[in-house]
Chain A
């Protein structure tokens, strides 16, 4: 089961002919993801080829528009590698084409574009993951994004995080402990994005194949505090957490556009306190994320 994506998920890659799109589409195909279409305006009619599992060649038709790609191939999920200034437009194109889920990997999208895009998505069925995120993976079934597939293992732990490599770190620890994952989602490090912690936690809550959740937050904003509220009142499954940035100085932007402590708000201490009050076990160091979760099972 898992959430949002599985082995039958059909994916269109927007920006499949660009360098990032090419590389990662090939990686996803090699993992076994059903990449059924590509989209690059002006490159319709071309074919993208890459070896699938067992080195069996996979040929992917490229279309000029997402609408055409969806019509011809039945893709329901889009994965975006379009450059930053065109990415918001690409998200809306996928939504208008009727995609259920859009995974936007692109980083560096102006926040004003995302404010407008979120407003435009209001009331539609399309869900957005990202931008500025590693994507989503249901181990053994479907990888949509840039995470290294081989560190994952099929299992029952849901993973959700604002950061890419920190997610890999957590997944690596879980796998080393023999704890596989149901689905792992990087929701992205930008101030305005798609699914947030609460959205993903509620999906895991309703997923019979997820037994526990590992969530990694970071300084800035109050998404973790809102997640703590949800966990306290609604979550039926154990949640372990980690918050990055305990030692970050206020007023400095720590890489992610969203990771900044401003006006004394969004500190790691506040977030850890909120999560602990909600019954979440928070790992004291990033090396102990896996064992912290294991201790709750």
Chain B
């Protein structure tokens, strides 16, 4: 689960990580008011207006504006940003609509650094990465100049060692140019230590500060925040529900999640219903191998009920882009007759206007096949994955 920058900064503040002063705004008027308040409080000459969407690269995409000319100028800028489709390298070409803004205090930036944390599978630990190349796409840095990324692995028993924090600080030459090197070093060590604590306690799957800045006064401040939570831990974090912004999420994927299904929208026209993630991915692969394009990834899971299958099948049927459907089931826990019943129930309700190919294998396969055959529905049976993929591709082309 993703959250907005301003929400991430509220969590940062809770852990004592310094962030600029800021106010969230949903309208241009609120933005103006926020600017008035910030300018009065900080005595700074500028405020920054930042579009809040769940994607990175907002600055480059034109979603972050530094405003010098006071609150009414902020209102104008906010009016233009709100409602626009912001396109960044992470949103895809259609972009994401801006519905919230964060109005933030301007700071005198001396240096921009990068901090990021992820789960590293190889070491089975949290990896803390730091780089002097802040404020830019870290993917690019990783590709072009990997030596500029310093990485520390955190022992879950001990947490981040103070020495590791110091090694990063000296590796980044954090004190360079600071009027008060001692203060800067101390603040940096404190920030990375608290960030590691936050990552663990809040069950993050990703946490980035890009950029982490050093001001001309030598203070270290988190100028941005990006936090993703580990969905598996949602049950022990009741507070996450309020942080969720459903406007930022794909409505079909949300519906799937509510039904306990794993669904990802894709660009093609062949709807897929499969059990198991590996088989679902392989089904997408084999459809493309035979010249088709999958409209979705849909894993109904190992032990789906008839109701879940019905709901999943309805989601596919109701998608206007779907020109054909391929059901590929290898029943283990999942029984083939349950799948068949779900498919029949959904088609009876919504009607079947597109070709449907069904491949069943495994537990109760004979009962499942018999149910489909006796249903009177125009279903093409397939014996193997390859057979099914070829049949559905041929059917939508024909």
Measuring CB to CB, which residues of chain A are less than 8 angstroms from any residue of chain B? 20, 23-24, 84-85, 108-112, 114-116, 118-119, 134, 146-148, 150-151, 161-169, 172, 189, 191-192, 216, 218-219, 221-223, 226, 242, 244-249, 251-259, 263-264, 268, 284-288
Q: Is the CB of B264 within 8 A of A252?
A: yes
Nearest first, the 7 A-B pairs at minimum CB distance are: A163-B278, A255-B277, A165-B276, A166-B278, A287-B386, A110-B233, A286-B282
Known contacts being A191-B119, A247-B288, A255-B297, is A118 close to B124, with CB within 8 Å? yes
Some 12 contacts from A to B, beta carbons below 8 A apart, are A20-B303, A112-B233, A116-B157, A146-B333, A169-B330, A244-B281, A245-B285, A248-B284, A254-B280, A284-B289, A286-B279, A286-B282
Chain B residue total in the interface (Cβ 8 A): 56
Chain A hits for B262, CB < 8 A: 255
Q: Is the CB of A286 within 8 A of B126?
A: no
Q: Residue among B157, B283, B285, B294 with the most chain A CB within 10 A?
A: B285
State in angstroms the CA–CA spacing of A264 and B99 once bound together.
30
Q: Is the CB of B297 within 8 A of A287?
A: no
B385: CB under 8 A from chain A? yes
B94: CB under 8 A from chain A? no
State in angstroms the CA–CA spacing of A169 and B297 once bound together.
18
Which residue in chain A gives the minimum CB-CB distance to B285? A246
Q: Is the interface of B mostly helix, strand, loop or mixed?
A: mixed
Q: Is the CB of B235 within 8 A of A221?
A: no
Q: Which chain B residues in 250-304 approach chain A with CB under 8 Å? A: 262, 264, 266, 274-289, 294, 297, 299, 302-303
Chain B hits for A85, CB < 8 A: 235-236
Expressed in whole angstroms, the minimum distance between the Cβ of A123 and any Cβ of chain B is: 12
Q: Is the CB of B121 within 8 A of A112?
A: no
Q: Is the CB of A169 within 8 A of B282?
A: yes
Expressed in whole angstroms, the minimum distance between the Cβ of A211 and any Cβ of chain B is: 24
Task: Select which of A110, A167, A172, A191 is within 8 A of B121 by beta carbon.
Answer: A191
Known contacts being A248-B297, A254-B277, A286-B385, is A134 close to B139, with CB within 8 Å? no
B363: CB under 8 A from chain A? yes
Given contacts A166-B276, A172-B330, A216-B278, 18 further A-B contacts (CB under 8 A): A112-B200, A119-B124, A146-B332, A161-B278, A163-B277, A163-B279, A164-B276, A164-B278, A165-B274, A166-B278, A191-B121, A218-B281, A223-B121, A251-B90, A254-B280, A254-B281, A255-B280, A288-B386
Q: Is the CB of B277 within 8 A of A259?
A: yes
Chain B hits for A20, CB < 8 A: 303
Q: Is the CB of A162 within 8 A of B119?
A: no
Q: Is the CB of A168 within 8 A of B232?
A: no
Chain A hits for B384, CB < 8 A: 287
Expressed in whole angstroms, the minimum distance between the Cβ of B245 and any Cβ of chain A is: 18
Expressed in whole angstroms, the minimum distance between the Cβ of A122 and any Cβ of chain B is: 9
Q: Is the CB of B330 within 8 A of A285?
A: no
Chain B hits for A134, CB < 8 A: 332
Known contacts being A166-B279, A191-B121, A247-B294, is A285 close to B266, with CB within 8 Å? no
B142: CB under 8 A from chain A? yes
State in angstroms the CA–CA spacing of A53 and B394 once bound together.
45
Chain B hits for A264, CB < 8 A: 139, 143
Chain B hits for A242, CB < 8 A: 282
Expressed in whole angstroms, the minimum distance between the Cβ of A18 and any Cβ of chain B is: 12
Q: Residue among B139, B262, B282, B361 with the most chain A CB within 10 A?
A: B282
State in angstroms the CA–CA spacing of A269 and B113 once bound together.
33
Q: Is the CB of B278 within 8 A of A112?
A: no
Q: Is the CB of A148 within 8 A of B302?
A: no
Contact with A along B224-235 (1 / 0, CB 8 A): 000000101101
Task: Select which of B142, B232, B274 is within 8 A of A109 by beta carbon.
Answer: B232
Chain A hits for B177, CB < 8 A: none
Chain A hits for B179, CB < 8 A: none
Chain A hits for B71, CB < 8 A: none
Chain B hits for A24, CB < 8 A: 333
Known contacts being A146-B302, A255-B277, is A244 close to B143, with CB within 8 Å? no
Known contacts being A162-B278, A165-B332, A254-B277, is A115 close to B294, with CB within 8 Å? no
